[in-house]
Structure 1
Amino acid sequence: MIEDFDVGSDWHVAAPYDFLRRLRQDRPVFRSEHLGAYVLTRYADVRAAYGDPRRFSSKGSLTISRSLTRETKEKLGEHGSFLSSFVANVDPPDHTRLRRSVSRAFTPRAVAAMEQAFRRLNEELLDRLEARGRADFVSEIGHEPSIKLTARFIGVPEADEAFVQAHVKDWFQLFLSPQPPDRQLELADSFLTYLDYVDRLVAARAKDPQDDFTSLMTSLIGAELTHREVVELISTILLGGNDTVPNQLGNAVLRLLREDAWPVPPELVPNAVEECMRIDGAALGSFRYAVTDVTSHGVTIPAGSLVLLSTDSAAHDESVFPDPERFLIDRPNAAEHMVFGYGIHFCVGAALGRLQLRTALEVLGRRLPRLRFVAGEPIAYRRSLVGRGLAALAVEW
């Protein structure tokens, strides 16, 4: 029997569901030595914790620096607390102020305007690849359109897209995935280079504003935001577009192929996206800190303890999603998953993420209706504390 989470094991991301089911049944509040955190596994408890910032604080919850060595922390200096002022990493009233500023760029009209651009990016990619008949879905299909859309939204020049993608991948590994000491130092160098790049982008837009997110946020420096807050906002939105959304698309395509549900009929695409996020979410959960002693299910979580709100487990909770290990493309309540969080920290980019996933599945299903696995190729996931994403996925059509 598996006794604890283990981010160094293949099952931790690829197939944790038997383990999570046992926790929900027998130990719904679980102390994980491996994570150094208490874990909430039942849907009702995860949702309640998301909605209770007075007892479960977001402040500092994304800064997973406890896994960094002293030498790495010294190299990072003040940036060891990176994300300390990011909107998902603070409590009200700072959270209220930051979210209000960011939301200006994510109006329904602005998000809808990005749909055609994203559809065109997917079509152009397939125009180049379709005749080949084979590709690695992760590196050659899933990431490029999202990276390009995010770059245009932020204001990253096309010539810098590959640079940003490489460095975003490095900072994800540094802060959100366990690494040996020597590798931490390499990643820290990359991260500092990346921060310098974003810092210079903000400075450039302050002098010469464009029609992009960076210019909009830069215009608020002094009145609503600080320079550092803008740098962290941009850095983290780039992570979502360069990593999280493409990971979710890869997970969705893998699931649909395994279930012999490809291509998805257009009228079922929206719900298929939700069911794919529920059953194979790209985000495994969110960390919080207990503000006071919290007692639940007979277990007391001491004040100051780190707590993982396991949205992965919640999305497989039998009391909310009957027969949760079964993929139901028309599951009526599929959208009740919490991949995008819940409450005041519900992801500000959720509408854009959903739009990207729906659009990609529509275009890919129409252009590559015979998409299938390449026989004999292994399917492996990246190892991570908080994310589920494929390392590679060989497909042909």
Structure 2
Amino acid sequence: MSGPETATDFDVTADWHVADPYPFLTRLRHERPVFWSDHLRMWVLTRYTDVRDAYRDHRRFSSIGSLTISRTLTDEVKESLGEHRSFLDNFAANVDPPQHTRIRRAISRAFTPRAVERLGDAFATQVDAVLDAVEPQGHADLVADLAHPPSARLTAAFIGVPPEDEHQVKQWVYSWFQLFLSPQPPARQRELAQDFLKYLDYVDRLVTERRAEPRDDFAGLMAELIDTGPGGLSHREVVETISALLLGGNDTVPNSLGNAVHRMQRDRASWAAVVADPALIPNLIEETLRIDGASLGSFRRTTEDVTLHGVRIPAGAEVFLHADSAGHDETVFPDPERFDIRRPNARDHMVFGYGIHHCVGAALARLELRIALERITARLPGLRLVPDQDVAYRKSLVGRGIPTLLVEW
């Protein structure tokens, strides 16, 4: 039985790694900052400076093809996926300039400060509605009952998914994460692959409908840009952009909210401090993102031989920029395993990427988290964890998250 002190590889499927990978990552930063992972079949960068510099250097660390097919899929499933085996080839996070510049400019039209503010107002309404429903019960699953519904509903409404389709889309998104980012047995892979193809077909039809009958939503905005010249987008670029945003809205914010409440409940002084002073919430969010890795990192591919710390990474190699490890780098974040809601440089984490690939939805994600935490701490100040529950993180390469967190008040 291996653990963080004896492990020799980066293995998100191992129970010890899912529960607490940070002692192992600390050892890597000190002893093997550039690390070949047999499990991932790629190189891993673990130090803050190296991760940041690689994010900035898209000439040598290219994003093109970085979100390629999962290495755990069977040949049968790969064949069934056909051209979609490298889904997100045309998403902004998976390309370099000039394609990246063109796609990001188009997406940014929907994320102006005024538009984000309007979305925040809609999100607050959703959070209040959920709290109105669960508050009288005196207990809830914070993740399933409080964290997921408002974010999923806001994302669906923003994109243009009809309310009657929200539940189905959520199930397809969950299948996507399982298929591409969590190891699955062959029979389960076949089931998930069929769900994934249905998901793509759904988004494809949504975009086609918006081209025929434009509406005032993100799908409509993107559809207007299809085949409009040098600054326009292709049909596939639009489908993959919408698909990816639906993934984020159903994952990053709900997981970060669950992580934040879990951390504060383990450190009741921080919960009391935030209840007494909501002005602490913005920095609390950054510290939660830093310490719990809402996004573990990003994939890149080298365009030439790269030597770091005496280690040669060959051209064409895949590289994992371990943003979660970087967030625990003690040379940047003193006493990194301590949850400090007043940490002065908490925002220096790279959960949302860095440089030109900084997440275009980061401002909205932060706004949603702030609103949710403000509402929950104000309306449920006596919230506490249900005793003796087994709180476990999911097995995933996409980020740390708690599937279930039982609370009462």
Query: Shorter-chain TM-score: what band?
Result: over 0.9
Match for residue 96 of structure 2?
A: 91
Moved more, 139-148 or 253-262: 253-262
Task: Map 1:113-132 to 2 at 5 A.
Answer: 113-132=118-137
Match for residue 238 of structure 1?
A: 246
Query: Is the aligned partner of 1:59 residue 2:69?
Result: no
Task: Give distance in 2, aligned partners of 1:166 and 1:47.
Answer: 34
Contact 2:56 2:354 in 1 (8 A): yes
- The CA deviation at 1:215 is 0.2
Query: Is the aligned partner of 1:146 residue 2:145?
Result: no
Moved more, 259-268 or 43-52: 259-268
Query: Is the aligned partner of 1:359 residue 2:371?
Result: yes
Match for residue 260 of structure 2?
A: 252
Task: Give distance in 2, aligned partners of 1:13 and 1:51.
Answer: 29
- The CA deviation at 1:87 is 0.6
Contact 1:83 1:232 in 2 (8 A): yes
- The CA deviation at 1:366 is 0.5
Match for residue 348 of structure 1?
A: 360
Contact 1:251 1:281 in 2 (8 A): no
Contact 1:64 1:176 in 2 (8 A): no
Match for residue 262 of structure 1?
A: 271
Task: Give distance in 2, aligned partners of 1:363 and 1:393.
Answer: 18
Task: Give distance in 2, aligned partners of 1:305 and 1:170.
Answer: 28
Query: Is the aligned partner of 1:379 residue 2:391?
Result: yes
Aligned amino acid, residue 394 of structure 1: L
Match for residue 298 of structure 1?
A: 310
Q: Secondary structure at the match of 1:390?
A: coil
Aligned amino acid, residue 217 of structure 1: M
Moved more, 58-67 or 336-345: 58-67
Match for residue 3 of structure 2?
A: none
Q: Secondary structure at the match of 2:271?
A: coil
Task: Give distance in 2, aligned partners of 1:307 and 1:121.
Answer: 39
Contact 2:69 2:87 in 1 (8 A): no
**1:373-397, CA deviations, whole angstroms, 9 ceiling, x for partnerless residues?**
1111100111112321112111111
Cα RMSD, aligned residues only: 0.9
Task: Give distance in 2, aligned partners of 1:104 and 1:348.
Answer: 10
Q: Secondary structure at the match of 2:65?
A: coil
Give the alignment partner of residue 177 of structure 2, picking from 159, 169, 172: 172
Query: Is the aligned partner of 1:162 residue 2:167?
Result: yes
Task: Give distance in 1, aligned partners of 2:118 and 2:344.
Answer: 28
- The CA deviation at 1:303 is 0.9
Unpaired runs of 5+ residues, structure 2, are 1-5
Task: Give distance in 1, aligned partners of 2:338 and 2:71.
Answer: 37
- The CA deviation at 1:80 is 0.8
Query: Is the aligned partner of 1:44 residue 2:57?
Result: no
Query: Is the aligned partner of 1:2 residue 2:7?
Result: yes
Unpaired runs of 5+ residues, structure 1, are none
Q: Secondary structure at the match of 1:119?
A: helix
Task: Give distance in 2, aligned partners of 1:200 and 1:267.
Answer: 44
Give the alignment partner of residue 72 of structure 1, picking from 70, 74, 77: 77
Task: Map 1:212-223 to 2 at 5 A.
Answer: 212-223=217-228
Q: Secondary structure at the match of 1:143?
A: helix
Contact 1:262 1:371 in 2 (8 A): no
- The CA deviation at 1:13 is 3.0
Task: Give distance in 2, aligned partners of 1:7 and 1:335.
Answer: 25
Q: Secondary structure at the match of 1:34?
A: coil
- The CA deviation at 1:274 is 0.5
- The CA deviation at 1:149 is 0.6
Match for residue 214 of structure 2?
A: 209
- The CA deviation at 1:256 is 1.2
Give the alignment partner of residue 237 of structure 2, picking from 220, 229, 238: 229
- The CA deviation at 1:11 is 2.7
**1:65-96, CA deviations, whole angstroms, 9 ceiling, x for partnerless residues?**
33211100111111111101111001111111
User: TM-score if structure 2 supplies the norm length?
Assistant: 0.96
Contact 1:281 1:312 in 2 (8 A): yes
User: TM-score if structure 1 supplies the norm length?
Assistant: 0.98
**1:80-130, CA deviations, whole angstroms, 9 ceiling, x for partnerless residues?**
111011110011111111111111001111101111111111011010000
Task: Give distance in 2, aligned partners of 1:14 and 1:231.
Answer: 35
Query: Is the aligned partner of 1:277 residue 2:289?
Result: yes
Task: Give distance in 1, aligned partners of 2:72 and 2:389.
Answer: 33
- The CA deviation at 1:12 is 2.3
Moved more, 44-53 or 377-386: 377-386
Against the structure 1 CA distance between its residues 256 and 64, is the aligned structure 2 distance closer, same or farther, given a 3 Å change threshold?
farther
Task: Give distance in 2, aligned partners of 1:63 and 1:74.
Answer: 15
- The CA deviation at 1:359 is 0.6
- The CA deviation at 1:370 is 0.9
Query: Is the aligned partner of 1:337 residue 2:349?
Result: yes
- The CA deviation at 1:171 is 0.8
- The CA deviation at 1:35 is 1.0
